[in-house]
Amino acid sequence: MIGYYAHHHGSGHSRRAESLATELHDDVVILSSLPGPDTGTQRLLLPRDDDVAPGRDPRATGSLHWAPLDSAGYSERMAMIAAWVREARPRVVVVDVSVEVTALVRLLGVPVCSVVMPGDRTDAPHQLGMSLSTRLLAFWPEELCVPAWLEPHSDRTDFVGVVSSYERRASAQPSTGQPPDSVRAPAESQGSATPRRKVLLVMGAGGTEVTQDDIDNARRSTPGWEWKTVGGDGVWVEDLWPELLAADVVVTHAGQNAIADVAAAHRPAVVLPQSRPHDEQHATADVLERRGIATVRRSWPTDWGAVLEEAAAREDRWDLLRADGATARAARAIEAVGR
């Protein structure tokens, strides 16, 4: 048995857990406060610990990130995890991500494989979580970035590359830099003198600084481009893969799963990092910009025509993120901890 704790902020941690569950050669239970899709993977639905009064001293005088006193939700979720560990006796628990769950599981005598995230992780709680973990799992290639705070733990870190839930479909799709025939515009549109190119704007579930006025202004300023928005407070699509393949340019936040999906699809991209704890999206954007993988803007552009042209003309360098085979590499690393 393998446990996988998936944090409930946004949807990325849960999606990653589902992807890895398909590659692990063992029964998997996902422990999360976020209900998941009906994929057949077992889930233990935990109570939320952040929807009531936070209680006292939630940071434990700076040693932890979130361990409030007098919080019924927090106490109940930790007790449920402990009871599950006692009953299921997992051989390893993946923690993606929580210092507190890492500490709890390790104190119960179970090996922990902790996911490390980009950004500034020099604070005491992150350092504690890394020191308690048997192995660390980084969802990016080592050759692209080893942050200074991770260097002391690099001998216990598996850098597996970016994990996309569309990896298997990507491996069956030739990478030509052009949308496949199945997602091209209808023939009558293709025959027009000035066919409009497609922009896919991908908004995350973890919050955004982009407003509807921003989007409307971008549409008005780019008459040669057709915009479609998915996610955020708008329309969510069950299957994003065809939308990605049909896009001439993807405009996306810098969340790990979004970047992994664009990498798997090999689409030109404009990356707009959003504010997150520890500046994780800005750290990801730094690497993408430095290696020439994507066009990066730190705020919503006013010159969208030029920005889209820059992105569309960029050389495809998504292979640098090593999306192909990353899910299997991560699964083997997790299973090695269990052995």
* DSSP for 10-23, written as a single string: SSHHHHHHHHHHTT
The tally of CA atoms less than 13 A away on the side-chain side of residue 323 is: 26
Least confident among 94-98, 204-208, 213-217, 312-316? 204-208
Whether 2-163+324-338 and 167-321 share one fold: the answer is yes
Superfamily of domain 2-163+324-338: Glycogen Phosphorylase B; (3.40.50.2000)
pLDDT value for 185: 45
Is residue 192 scored above 80 in pLDDT?
no
Distance between CA atoms of 181 and 243, rounded to whole angstroms?
Answer: 13
The pLDDT assigned to 40 comes to 85
Residue whose entry in the numeric block shows the structure tokens 């192995």: 135
The pLDDT confidence band at residue 322, using thresholds 50, 70 and 90, is very high
pLDDT score of 180: 47
Q: Which of 167, 144, 115, 138 is nearest to 288 (CA)?
A: 144
Average pLDDT of 162-174? 90
Mean of the per-residue pLDDT values for the chain? Answer: 92
Residue 170's CB: how many other CB atoms inside 10 A?
Answer: 19
Residue 181 confidence (pLDDT):
46
Alpha carbon distance 142, 176 (integer Å): 27
96 closest CA partner among 124, 63, 129, 125 = 129
pLDDT over threshold 50, residue 220:
yes
The CATH number fitting domain 167-321, selected from 3.40.50.2000, 1.10.540.10, 3.40.50.150, 3.90.550.40: 3.40.50.2000
Locate the domains of the chain by residue range. Answer: 2-163+324-338, 167-321
Residue 44 CB partners (closer than 8 Å, separation 6+): 29, 30, 31, 32, 80, 84
Backbone angles phi, psi at 252, to 5 degrees: -145, 160
Mean pLDDT, range 180-206, rounded to an integer:
67
Report DSSP letters for 172-215, one per residue: TS---SS--GGGSPPHHHHTSSSPPEEEEEEE-SS--S--HHHH
Residue 95 has pLDDT above 80, yes or no: yes
**Threshold 0.85, pTM exceeds:** yes
The mean per-residue pLDDT over the stretch 83-100 comes to 98
Q: Give the Cα-Cα-Cα angle 50, 51, 53 (nearest 5 degrees).
A: 85
In this prediction, residue 183 has a pLDDT band, given cuts at 50, 70 and 90, of very low
| 54 CA to centre of own chain | 27
Q: Are 250 and 270 in contact (CB under 8 A)?
A: yes
Alpha carbon 180 to its chain's center: 26
pLDDT over threshold 70, residue 190:
no
Question: Which of the residue ranges 182-191, 222-231, 304-313 would you say has the lowest mean pLDDT?
Answer: 182-191
pLDDT digits (tens, 9 = 90+) for 251-274: 999 999 999 999 999 999 999 999
